[in-house]
Structure 1
């Protein structure tokens, strides 16, 4: 006998607007309980210092249609994880049109890690055919 309850199905656009207000950790938790969010592809990707390497790997499987990406205050080791994902044939966010990367905010953890962001950027930029706006946030000293 049916209980009279029906599942509410929201359009993808609504779920994408909801994810814009969640951190990667919150979104991953919600995906574990909601099938609609589990299958959702990201429209916007925001990486910060609070994301771990597993979180980056998890997001990389869902960013194929992302139109905007922001990387600020990331650790160099996380940039290396991003570089490895792209280098090893992982999906590249090739639909990105707007990208913000604040190179000044990158947190160096070990000697010799300063090239990790550059390796990742070279691989990703080669695949971003739709990129229209790029903000590197680099201070110039003249």
Structure 2
């Protein structure tokens, strides 16, 4: 069993990772960090992603969190998260959401909506600290 977390090197991604670490400690479960990339991503951008993931790996090691990092080239974030949750028998999926205007709150991002509706387990959504 695992906790699957969608990660990007953004405030939302960091908030999701922090929440996943807290849940990992509470549940004594490993974390599977999922990063979706496109196959046609420029090499420089790919290198930045790999550097960010190396930092995440070091952070999770120092926090004593059992983890796995998956850099997937599917290009579809929702499919990658849902597929990983199904494959690992995840108990929880954690995703970060952007803050939205009052009108924007009526519309949820397409990827977030698909994960919420189609994940095989509960989904925890988090927002970054506004500070």
Shared fold, TM over 0.5: no
Give 1 or 2: higher strand fraction: 2
* Rg comparison, structure with higher value: 1
User: If the length of structure 2 is used for normalisation, what is the TM-score?
Assistant: 0.29
